[in-house]
């Protein structure tokens, strides 16, 4: 069942308020861009797989088990290298912003707007459920 227009507006307002209160939470839930794989990285990985396959065929033709194992490990490493993203990506730049006092941010709103908004939402909820003794 879809949300009504009023419910959608309330949900959008709650989302904006939550992200304004805790920017780290907003960054944690923000959609992440998929890492780009460079053509050079794929080409190197594919080359390693092809060379590993050639060495594996050579290892089978001359009975050398140890060479076959090394060739298989090389093929596997080439495939993993081609598929994964580079290690120095920029995804880790937003995680190291401050050390102490991280526990009290989301629980205690600092602005008057955040407190009044949440208070209004709580009052509306209590009024709907009948838990508030004032109503």
CA distances from 75 to 44, 45, 59, 127 (A): 11, 8, 13, 65
From CA 55, how far away is CA 64, in angstroms rounded? Answer: 11
Q: What is the pLDDT of residues 89-109, one digit of tens each?
A: 444 444 444 444 444 444 444
Residue 15: per-residue pLDDT: 81
Q: What is the mean pLDDT of the chain?
A: 75
Residue 20: per-residue pLDDT: 79
- Is the model more confident about 115 or about 91? 115
Is the pLDDT reported for residue 14 higher than 90? no
Is the pLDDT reported for residue 73 higher than 90? yes
Q: Which of 97, 120, 99 is nearest to 27 (CA)?
A: 97
Residue 114: per-residue pLDDT: 54
Q: What is the 3-state secondary structure (H, E, C) of 78-127?
A: HHHHHHCCCCCCHHHHHCCCCCCCCCCCCCCCCCHHHHHHHHHHHHHHHH
Is the pLDDT reported for residue 16 higher than 60? yes
- Is the model more confident about 126 or about 46? 46
Q: What's the predicted TM-score (pTM) here?
A: 0.41
Residue 34: per-residue pLDDT: 62
What band does 77 get if pLDDT is binned at 50, 70 and 90?
very high
Residue 122: per-residue pLDDT: 82
Residue 13: per-residue pLDDT: 86
């Amino acid at each position: 069942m879809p949300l009504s227009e009023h419910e959608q507006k309330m949900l959008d307002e709650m989302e904006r308020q939550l992200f304004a209160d805790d920017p780290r939470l907003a960054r944690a839930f923000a959609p992440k861009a998929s890492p780009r794989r460079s053509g050079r990285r794929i080409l190197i990985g594919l080359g390693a797989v092809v060379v590993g396959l050639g060495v594996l065929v050579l290892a089978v033709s001359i009975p050398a088990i140890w060479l076959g194992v090394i060739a298989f490990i090389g093929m596997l490493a080439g495939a993993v290298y081609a598929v994964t993203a580079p290690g120095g990506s920029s995804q880790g730049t937003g995680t190291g912003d401050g050390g102490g006092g991280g526990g009290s941010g989301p629980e205690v709103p600092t602005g008057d707007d955040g407190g009044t908004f949440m208070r209004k939402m709580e009052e509306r909820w209590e009024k709907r459920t009948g838990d508030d003794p004032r109503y």
